[in-house]
Structures are given as structure tokens and as C-alpha cells.
Structure 1
Amino acid sequence: MAAANPKFIAATAHIDDGAVQPLPNSRKVYVTGSRPDLRVPMREVSQSDTPASFGAEKNPPVFVYDTSGPYTDPAATIDIRQGLPSMRGQWVVERGDTEELPGPTSAYGRDRLSDPKLVSLRFDLKRRPRRAKPGMNVTQMHYARRGVVTPEMEFIAIRENQRIEALSELLRRQHRGEAFGASLPKAIAPEFVRDEIARGRAIIPNNINHPETEPMIIGRNFLVKINANIGNSALSSGIQEEVEKMTWSTRWGADTVMDLSTGKNIHETREWIVRNSPVPIGTVPIYQALEKVEGKAEELTWEIYRDTLIEQCEQGVDYFTVHAGVRLPYIPLTAKRMTGIVSRGGSIMAKWCLAHHKESFLYTRFEEICEILKAYDVAFSLGDGLRPGSIYDANDEAQIA
């Protein structure tokens, strides 16, 4: 990866050539669903033939899950200044329950958009943000509980199957074991995906403002998913480097990417990442909110945090880590710890609670946070703000509280 470029210019932004090369001994293939625009990517891995000494047999290819998006497709033209194609945009519009906004509605988003000093850094997004129409619910869980199988659910069913029907029975053999309550069918059907979401056992983290994503699912009855953390800091890295981190992460199999940026131009950096990411992007909104008050946790307010949520929802962030479980009466329980509060989000909210001697606004305003996220179909990741930082502190009163 190239050294950090402090003079990033949007007009000359480009992708690392190494991140867009086809992977060896394999090729990108697509399985088409019930509609022409539902093309599910997979990687067809070629196998060498069995040697003559073992039977001289030609071996079929193996199909595997592929998170790399168009970056490893030789037929795709990659230009990070344009972003990835809007795969899900038409699906969102067809449902008729969202509306296009005239522009960013968060105060911070409007300020950044109108700042002439940021023109050279800004991603030139032509599309306007969307949100749910008044009184409408646009979450995949809502559709699932109404019995609706969405294109996203069909996409996921095809993707999770990985064309397993093409494998021989020998390769599908599974050892006996304890399922621990899991219910794994031999083949994943769209209706199974819908049912798992309706039951609350799985989620599709796909913001309506991130139509570039290839739908994926997280749940106990589906394939294991891997997250990758990226992010700039006040000391190093810039926009170009963060986009490269994202593309390399997805190339090597990251199913989701968490942007933990705390440095300069967080808003612009995130826009470039989201527009070029084929996988869901997550953040910890309290990190950016803290930057807005110059790192002074006690000066955080619900209004600043709420504006940050809306800003990021309209950019297309797919899931948020929210440390709503850090409550005022639990904080003294950490006093006897060897390593204290090691969660950054947890320590930020603990400092705020002690400074104001009040419950965290993430806790008291949790229902309002839910309503905001519901309007964009953004998922929660509940942050473990009082997790232990050492074996000495493990399973202590603060963690269990």
C-alpha cells in the first residue's frame, strides 16, 4: 500500500492496481435469479486433475462465496471517482415506500456540502439520499413479517447455497455433531431466509442509501461472516488509503467493513468508502460525534449525536455500534478492575455519565435511535461498553451487570 497522501484530490483518485487483479486459478461467475438484475457473484475455483496413480480423474470446479464485488471481475470497469453500480437502487424504488430527499438533512452534512474548501476532497455523488415515507417501515424485517420475499432475500439464498447442488455427494458429507439448536437445511431457499429474518434470528445490514452493496445476511443458520476494521487517525492515513484498505479487505474475504476513522475529514472519507464498497459498512457514531466537540466527552449532547446518526444514515452506513448498555449505576463496578474500561465507546459514555451524573442519552433515547435507524433500514450492533480488558477482569460484576 502506498504511503499516506496528505494532498488527496478527488479528480485524480484511483484504485490500487493490485486490488483489481483477478484471483489466480479461479474466475468470477454470476448466477441469475428470478429477474435479470438479480445476478449473484461467486468464485469458481478450478481443481487440478487427480494423478494417474490415484485414478486419473478430472475434477469439477468448486464454487465459493465471493465478497470482492466487481473488483475481481475482468469485465468490469473500475473508477472509484464514479463509485460502484447501484445494484439495489431499483429494488428500493420499486417498493414505493421511500422518498427522495432534496439533499442532506443533517446540519453537519449540509455544512460539509456547502464548504468550498472541501471541493477537492468531495466524492461527486449525483444521487440524492432517500428515507422512508411518513408512516412507512422499510426494514427487511418488516417485509419478512408481512410474508414478502424481497429480491435481497432471493439474492442471499442463492449466495449462501454456493451452488452446492453441483458438488458430489462425497464432498457434501458432514460429520455427526451437536447442533446446539441450529437448524441448517440442506439447501437455502428464499422462504427460509424470509422466515429467519421474521423470527429475529438473522439480519440483512443494507441501508437503502447504500444500493452498491451485494446483499448478505448474518445469522446463526447461515455461513459464518468475517468483519474487517479500517479507519484513519489524527496521525496517519488519508482518503485514498482508506479506500484501498476497504478494497483489499473485501478481496481477501471480509463480509463487512467497520470504518473506525477518528482523523481529519471523516465525512468525506466515509463517502468515498461507502460509494465504492460492495459489502456493508459499519461505524461507531459516537467517535465522530466526539470529534465534533473536539474530544471533550462531557460536551456531547443528544442533539449532536442525533445529527451524526442522520448524517451517516443518509450517506449509506449499514450498521451502527451503539454503547447503550453503559449505565450510570454500573460504572462504579469497574473501580476495582485491573484494566478499567477498555471499550473506547464505553469509556466515552462513562465519562459523560460521571460528568453529568445522569444516565447516558444512548440509553434514555434508545427508542428514538430505533426510529431513526428504521427510516433507513440501518442495523444495530450493541456495543459491549464494559467488556473486560484482561483475564483478571473477566466475568466480573461490571461485565455481567
Structure 2
Amino acid sequence: MNAQLSALQQQAQQLSESVTRPIPGSHKIHVQGSRPDLQVPMREITLTRTPTLFGGEENAPVTVYDTSGPYTDPAVAIDLSAGLPALRAAWVAERRDTEVLEGLSSAFGRSRETDARLDAVRFPARLQPRRARAGANVTQMHYARRGIITPEMEFVAIRENQRLDAIGDAALLKQHPGESFGASIPRIITPEFVRDEIARGRAVLPNNINHPESEPMIIGRNFLTKINANIGNSAVSSGIAEEVEKLVWAIRWGGDTVMDLSTGKHIHETREWIVRNSPVAIGTVPIYQALEKVDGRAEELNWAIFRDTLIEQAEQGVDYFTIHAGVLLRYVPLTAKRVTGIVSRGGSIMAKWCLAHHKENFLYTHFEDICEIMKAYDVSFSLGDGLR
């Protein structure tokens, strides 16, 4: 068992060496916010000198958004077996509206934790999960609507600006006229603007309190476009080391969020390795893992299994869940004459359950319960388009 554990950690160490090379022609910089522990990462690209033929002048470096985390910073020693530094741990703790749990709340999580057969694949470092105190709301939207600007909001404001205020050449700030489609984006993004957009429900800041390693990022119509990358193992391919490698390559080339869509072996353990080593928001489709727990038989799914899966993943640090709550029983017959049926995997799972039981989708009937669970950990919603 120890030999197997050492083999996995050795794989992780080899991976650490292969994906931590700096990106050529640029280097990592950090812009400090209003407090010393608010260091916003960016990438400064070095430009060559304009040739003499065209005027011959030096060109200032260009600062751009960077999603690669510490992996491209030569000053940081990466150890995938230890995970990334808990960047946001102090921010979460100082709000005093969460509590550290003595153990895992989900039955499945506890069973995995005590299964000695999993020692070889279990993430070595254990993070004590947090949850909102009784009656507390720990979401960024809740803070925003109370007029509170959190460190996470300030972080994304600085990040979105990409140091535009440092550009001295007016020509570089020129923007061609275009169609705004109703968007109202100020030239400089302020923390107050971020707070207001979140409070209005026009933006989301996916940051689970159990994912303190994450570098805050915002999604909304009045902010920069964000890109998601999907990874995940299957029953026939890939292991933990490969999935972590996919994560690191995805963020190196610009992934703002990563979804773990694993359906193979060791889903729980694979996700733990991914979350602990991810500087970007991690999303999942919880119904996928719930289906694996009933050996792929959709009709055997139920609210209790799904609820336990939500809590399990929330306490690991998953930042957003795709929930197919809109697949209602009365809509399923509308897809009967389609050539390809329902191509959404989550949607087809829930449609099969609805038809098997001739009952309404339990994700819909328990939607308020789902909200309460997600509110306790600050997990964001991604409502799945389940009838596509």
C-alpha cells in the first residue's frame, strides 16, 4: 500500500516538474490591493523594440489576464501532493460566519475516508471542511446586497482592469465603436461596481468557502468573457495524475473555470486532487456521481442520494453545480419524435427517472432544499439546459 502511495506521489512530482515552466516571452506579476494578502496575479508580456525603419522606439510591456495560478511562477515551489496555498482562508475565517466541522457531513464522504483500500489514491493532506453557522448566509450575493465589499470583490475588480490605468499611450486605450447589446461597462472596474453587479444578480463570483486555493474570478455580462474547460475520467481511461495534468494544462492556456465530469473509478478522490490543486473555480454535474452510486441505473436515483452527493462535493470545495432542475415530467413527451432524443446527459438521466416513476423531477421539487445546501457553502448554480 505504501509503495502504491509513493508511486502516485512520484507521478505527481514528475507532473509538477513538467507543467511549471514559465510561459516564454512573459513573466508573472502581482498587483497588490488594499491589504498585503490581496495579491492579484497577472501576466506581463515583453514586447520587442520597434525597428528603426518604422520609427525605432522601445515598447512598454503589456499586462494581460492570467489564469495559470502559481504553476508558471518560477519563484513558487509546486508540490501537487500538498496542494496550493490557501489564498482565501483568512478572508473566509475573518468574516466569522462559518464554522470548521469536526468531520465530513456526507455519509459517502465518511465511508471513503475510512476505507483503507483507498489509501493509495487518497489526497495526502486533509482539509477540515467549513460550513455556514446556523442561520448565516455566506454567499457573495448576500454580502453584496448588504453593501459589503469583500476581498474577493476587490480582487476581481483589480483583475478585470488588467492594469489599464498604467497605460500612458492614449492610442492604446482607443476602442472601436460597436453594439453594446445593453451592456454598461465602465472604463475602470471598481470594487463598488463589482459589488453592485453581484447584488443586482447580473454577475456571479463562484468561490466555495472550502476552496480557499482559488483566485477569485467573476462571470457577468459587464465583465470579461470567461472560458470553461471540461476534464474528467471515464470507466475506460485516465487516472488521477492524468486528470490533474489536464487541469494544469487547461489553466495554462486560459481556462477560467474547469469542470470535472468524471464518471470512472475514484471520482471522490480524483476531485479532491483536482480541487486542492486548482487556482480556478471547479464545477461538476452532481447527478453524474449520484448515478455511479446506483451502478448506472437512473430509476434507482432518489433525493437522499443526490442530497448526500451535493454535501459531499460542497465540503470538498466544488464552486458550482450544474443542476438539471428544468427537465419536468410534462416536457419529456415533447422530445419523443426527435431524431436524436435528448442529447444532454444530465437531462436524459432525469427524463428516464421521471418516466420510470411517473413523478416530477426531484431536482425541481427539492429546488429550495438545494438552495439551502448551496447557500451554506457558497456554491453557485449552473442551471443545466437538459432538453437540448
Q: Could you say which TM-score interval applies, normalised by the shorter chain?
A: over 0.9
Contact 1:326 1:386 in 2 (8 A): yes
**Does 1:304 pair with 2:305?**
yes
Structure 2 match to 1:99: 99
Structure 2 match to 1:149: 149
Q: TM-score, structure 2 length as denominator?
A: 0.97
C-alpha separation in 2, matches of 1:240 and 1:11: 10
C-alpha separation in 2, matches of 1:25 and 1:291: 45
Q: Give the count of matched residue pairs.
A: 383
C-alpha separation in 1, matches of 2:352 and 2:277: 36
C-alpha separation in 1, matches of 2:231 and 2:33: 33
Structure 2 match to 1:132: 132
C-alpha separation in 1, matches of 2:258 and 2:215: 13
Structure 1 match to 2:42: 42
Contact 2:8 2:241 in 1 (8 A): no
Contact 1:8 1:240 in 2 (8 A): no
**Does 1:207 pair with 2:208?**
yes
Q: What is the SS of the residue equivalent to 1:229?
A: strand
C-alpha separation in 2, matches of 1:150 and 1:266: 33
C-alpha separation in 2, matches of 1:208 and 1:196: 21
C-alpha separation in 1, matches of 2:179 and 2:116: 60
Q: Match for 1:241: what amino acid?
A: E
Structure 1 match to 2:162: 162
Structure 2 match to 1:261: 262
How far is 1:115 from its partner?
0.2
Structure 1 match to 2:113: 113
Structure 2 match to 1:13: 12
Contact 2:11 2:241 in 1 (8 A): no
Over 3 Å counting, the alpha-carbon distance change for 1:8 and 1:269 in structure 2 is farther
Structure 1 match to 2:296: 295
Q: What is the SS of the residue equivalent to 1:138?
A: coil
Q: Match for 2:186: what amino acid?
A: P
C-alpha separation in 1, matches of 2:263 and 2:357: 24
C-alpha separation in 1, matches of 2:229 and 2:7: 24
Q: Match for 1:47: what amino acid?
A: L
Structure 2 match to 1:327: 328
**Does 1:282 pair with 2:283?**
yes
How far is 1:6 from its partner?
12
C-alpha separation in 2, matches of 1:7 and 1:306: 34
Q: What is the SS of the residue equivalent to 1:13?
A: helix
**Does 1:339 pair with 2:340?**
yes
Structure 1 match to 2:374: 373
Q: Match for 1:63: what amino acid?
A: T
Q: Match for 2:25: what amino acid?
A: N
Contact 1:140 1:197 in 2 (8 A): yes
Superimposed CA distance per residue, residues 148-188 of structure 1 (whole angstroms, 9 cap, x where no aligned partner): 00000000010000001122211111111221110110000
Q: Please give the residue correspondences for 1:43-122 in structure 2 after superposition, counting only pairs within 5 Å.
A: 43-122=43-122
C-alpha separation in 2, matches of 1:255 and 1:35: 24
C-alpha separation in 2, matches of 1:371 and 1:11: 40
Q: Match for 1:253: what amino acid?
A: G
Q: What is the SS of the residue equivalent to 1:282?
A: strand
How far is 1:70 from its partner?
0.3
C-alpha separation in 1, matches of 2:237 and 2:305: 26
Unaligned runs of at least 5 residues, structure 1: 388-401
Contact 2:326 2:386 in 1 (8 A): yes
Superimposed CA distance per residue, residues 166-211 of structure 1 (whole angstroms, 9 cap, x where no aligned partner): 2221111111122111011000000000000000000000000000
Contact 2:63 2:162 in 1 (8 A): yes
C-alpha separation in 2, matches of 1:8 and 1:301: 38
How far is 1:8 from its partner?
5.8
How far is 1:11 from its partner?
6.4
Contact 1:27 1:43 in 2 (8 A): yes
C-alpha separation in 2, matches of 1:280 and 1:272: 14
Q: Match for 2:82: what amino acid?
A: Q
Over 3 Å counting, the alpha-carbon distance change for 1:60 and 1:97 in structure 2 is same
Structure 2 match to 1:397: none
Unaligned runs of at least 5 residues, structure 2: none
Over 3 Å counting, the alpha-carbon distance change for 1:259 and 1:7 in structure 2 is farther
How far is 1:18 from its partner?
3.0
Q: What is the SS of the residue equivalent to 2:40?
A: strand
How far is 1:17 from its partner?
2.8
How far is 1:13 from its partner?
2.7
Contact 2:5 2:121 in 1 (8 A): no
C-alpha separation in 2, matches of 1:307 and 1:77: 36
Percent identity between the aligned chains?
71
Contact 2:5 2:119 in 1 (8 A): no
